Amino acid sequence: MNFLRKIAYPFSILYGIITSIRNFLYDINVLKSTKFKTPTLVVGNLSVGGTGKTPQIEYLIRLLKNDYKIAVLSRGYKRKSTGFIIADSQASAELIGDEPYQYYKKFKNIIVCVDADRTNAIQQLEKLENPPDVILLDDAYQHRKVVGGFNILLTDYSNLYVKDTMLPTGNLREHKSGAKRAQLIVVTKCPKNLTKEAQLVITKKINPAKNQQVFFTAIDYNSNLKGASEIDLSELQYFEVLLVTGIANPVPLTNYLKEQNIHFKHLEYPDHYNFKTQDIDKINAEINNFKLNKKLVLTTEKDYVRIFDKVKDLHYISIKSFFISDGNDFDKKIKNYVEQSSRNS
């Protein structure tokens, strides 16, 4: 793989040039960007792969939902539909995508919608009889057709964008200089005990501009499993467990389960995997072959919404993002932006 990436290095240079020219044309207004009156919070990253966008979006929903009517807008990656759709009782992971469907199922009093054309989607949202007070744009950092009111850039602790290179040699989908568009940079999936000294070292590596601030978050796993039944995670020590994942990086989850002395067999699939009939048959066959009476299939919340009606004994573990330090400062910056933007709109 390293050899192939070295061969691809000239293509990385070319890709970097193309994306840089594109961003420059947006910066000088040759390419059109649309600014909307509704406050818009953009959550995204510079790289491909999972950086924790879903738990960050959910954090923002929890932060704002009691004071504002929220809409979450996503492109609906790998959905089997096109155009602008607002989630309703007919929604499914196939129709709107797994992450939007997760938001819809989890938060009842928000608007969840999908559209590859974010400009059109926001126009449609603003035309609603009861439009949202604030719009959260999920994975829209590179969507320059919309002027983001407030940009939150995520970067994985184990793969900081400042140490990465452009596709296909690395994982960056635009040059790291694109970080300058962010007001806040969040280092995600950090160790829970990350010290202030270590945070300072990382902040120096990122080298934020004067108008930027760097924050650090970690993942907290919910010990109360849900799905076919509710069960405490600690009880899984006495179960045969089949772990099924279709996420970008399952290592933090598998490490966590091992730390909890839970033994499991792991079936690993690519991120946003479209489970086929043969995959479901394999999962069900695997669990049927387990010998103990106490047995179950464990998956992530994102995977659960795709296969909950197809796999027996299926349970999921949910996660939350939390700030290791300075969380109140982050909250205040978000609320100040929304409040001031709402007042000026």
pLDDT at 2: 61
Q: Which residue has the tokens 């950090």?
A: 190
d(CA 46, CA 37) in angstroms, rounded, equals 26
Q: Is the pLDDT of residue 8 over 80?
A: no
310: number of CA atoms within 13 Å, CB side? 18
Q: Which of 2-16, 148-162, 235-249, 331-345 has the lowest mean pLDDT?
A: 2-16
Would the pTM of this model clear 0.85, i.e. be above it?
A: yes
Q: Which of 103, 207, 218 is nearest to 156 (CA)?
A: 218
d(CA 345, CA 64) in angstroms, rounded, equals 18
pLDDT at 1: 47
d(CA 226, CA 298) in angstroms, rounded, equals 10
Q: Which of 152, 156, 173 is nearest to 247 (CA)?
A: 156
Backbone angles phi, psi at 154, to 5 degrees: -105, 145
Do the Cβ atoms of 332 and 62 come closer than 8 Å? no
Q: Considering only residues 276 and 50, tell me which one the structure prediction assigns the higher pLDDT.
A: 276
11: number of CA atoms within 13 Å, CB side? 12
What 3-state DSSP class applies to 148?
A: coil
Residue 344 identity: N
Mean pLDDT confidence for 255-280: 95
DSSP conformation letters of 25-66: HHHTTSS--B--SS-EEEEEESBSS-SSHHHHHHHHHHHHTT
Residue 324 identity: I
| Per-residue pLDDT tens over the stretch 227-236 | 999 999 999 9
246: number of CA atoms within 13 Å, CB side? 18
Distant-in-sequence contacts of 19-27, Cβ < 8 A, 24+ apart: 19/166, 19/173, 19/174, 19/175, 19/178, 20/174, 20/175, 20/177, 22/144, 23/144, 23/174, 23/175, 23/178, 26/144
CATH of domain 223-317: 3.40.50
Do the Cβ atoms of 101 and 93 come closer than 8 Å? yes
| Per-residue pLDDT tens over the stretch 82-133 | 999 999 999 999 999 999 999 999 999 999 999 999 999 999 999 999 999 9
How many Cβ atoms from other residues are within 10 Å of residue 223's Cβ? 13
Give the residue extent of every domain in the chain. 2-220+322-344, 223-317
d(CA 24, CA 30) in angstroms, rounded, equals 9
| Per-residue pLDDT tens over the stretch 305-330 | 999 999 989 999 999 999 999 999 99
Domains 2-220+322-344 and 223-317 share a fold: yes
Angle at 212 between CA 249 and CA 13, to 5 degrees: 55
**Tell me, what DSSP letter sits at residue 97?**
-
d(CA 52, CA 298) in angstroms, rounded, equals 20
Do the Cβ atoms of 184 and 153 come closer than 8 Å? yes
| Per-residue pLDDT tens over the stretch 10-19 | 778 887 888 9
| Per-residue pLDDT tens over the stretch 26-78 | 998 899 999 999 999 999 999 987 899 999 999 999 999 999 999 999 999 99
Q: In what order do the strands lie in the sheet with 314-317?
A: 231-232, 224-227, 314-317, 295-300, 240-245, 264-268
* CATH architecture of the domain covering 2-220+322-344: 3-Layer(aba) Sandwich (3.40)
pLDDT at 333: 97
Q: Is the pLDDT of residue 220 over 80?
A: yes
